[in-house]
Amino acid sequence: MIIHLNKAKDLIFCDDVVAVPTETVYGLAARFDSEIAIQKIFSLKKRPKDNPLIIHLGRYEDILHFLKSEDEDLLKLAQYFWPGPLTIVGQIKKETILPCARAHLETAAFRVPSHPLALELIRETKPLVMPSANLSGRPSATRVEHVLHDFGEDFPVIDGGDCRSGLESTVIAKINGSCQIVRSGCLLMDDIADVLNYKPLVYKKNDSLVMSPGMKYRHYAPKAKLSFFSEKDNFSEQIVVGFLEREYPGAKRIYHLGSLSDPQGISKNLYHVLRQLDHDLIEQAFIDMDFPREGLFKIICERLEKAAI
């Protein structure tokens, strides 16, 4: 059910949950300070309780109230990229954030989204928790129809059209004194490195320190089994997920991610294509993975690999 901003505000004040567009993907929004509303989010998404939520703020200065100490690097990044698709994880004053929102960790994740509707809503309410608006483990929602598919036609959603990026925010944390990317996303490593003056590490799941327990769960996956193809000549009678400028001789059906010259367009389309496979009851699809591993393509590759596990 499409709702307007005022209705969304009323629902949120009543401890309800609404779907909200952001520049990355749609989010399921609820008051950050309401245990009831947060529990609703976990049960709606069927999300494991040990996967913490991102607190979405209306402006940069709001984060200072929550942080235990001010980390120069993280705050420099936030100041530079907010509003935008960067999430920073910092040590918090524990009493400022409900344990259920942060999976009982001593850290919490924050971002200021840049979508005008999301920003207006947050600024008129209070900070909002906003996980991606999809059932846990499934591809994120980048269109209103995806939200309604996962949560039902009557679920309240603010219509912001298709999300501009289509990939989630990049999550960054300070670990052992230096910034590490704990979830890659649409804000790229090189852009972060330019501001930090050093290249952040990419956090490895098997490091002794478990940053976020939620990282162990399966992500972005359609029901269809996904397999990878890199030779271009053996698609006979297969369902193929590929690129507009390529031919896949003999393929039974081709789902186009977009053009290889437009990684931004592919990002925007990625979850829609994965969802389309399920819509069409496809049981197995072969993905053309023959593309460069740089820039956004690297993130697209990572998402596809996770979707295929």
Q: Which residues bind ligand TXA (CB under 6 A)?
A: 22, 24-25, 27, 51-54, 85, 87, 89, 102, 105, 107-109, 113, 130-132, 168-169, 171, 173, 182-183, 211-212, 214-215
Q: Which does 22 bind (CB under 5 to 8 A by kind): ligand TXA, Mg ion, none?
A: ligand TXA
Q: Which residue stretches of 198-290 are H helix?
A: 263-279
Q: Which is nearer to ligand TXA, 112 or 282 (CB)?
A: 112
Q: Minimal distance in Å, beta carbon 199 to ligand TXA?
A: 20
How deeply is 265 buried, as exposed, middle or buried, from its count of CB atoms within 10 A (0-12, 13-18, 19+)? middle
Sheet holding 284-288, edge to edge: 225-229, 284-288, 239-243, 253-258
Q: Is 142 in the site for Mg ion (CB under 5 A)?
A: no
Q: Which does 171 bind (CB under 5 to 8 A by kind): ligand TXA, Mg ion, none?
A: ligand TXA
**288 touches 248 (CB < 8 A):** yes
Closest CA to 215 of 176, 179, 175, 184: 184
Q: Which is nearer to Mg ion, 239 or 268 (CB)?
A: 268
Q: Is 34 in the site for Mg ion (CB under 5 A)?
A: no
**254 touches 208 (CB < 8 A):** no
Q: What's the rounded Cα separation, in Å, for the pair 129 and 122?
A: 10
Q: Minimal distance in Å, beta carbon 258 to ligand TXA?
A: 20
Ranges within 194-253 binding Mg ion (CB under 5 A): none
Among the candidate windows 58-66, 130-138, 263-271, 275-283, which touches Mg ion by CB under 5 A?
130-138
Q: Which does 289 bind (CB under 5 to 8 A by kind): Mg ion, ligand TXA, none?
A: none
Q: What's the rounded Cα separation, in Å, for the pair 27 and 8?
A: 13
> Which of 22, 34, 132, 212 is the binder for Mg ion (CB under 5 A)?
132
**286 touches 234 (CB < 8 A):** no
Q: Which does 308 bind (CB under 5 to 8 A by kind): ligand TXA, Mg ion, none?
A: none
Q: In the bound complex, which residue of the shown chain has the CB atom lying closest to Mg ion?
A: 132
Could you identify the residue written with the tokens 């959603």?
157
Q: Which does 41 bind (CB under 5 to 8 A by kind): ligand TXA, Mg ion, none?
A: none
Task: Give the residues across from 243 on adjacent strands.
Answer: 258
Q: Which residues bind Mg ion (CB under 5 A)?
A: 132
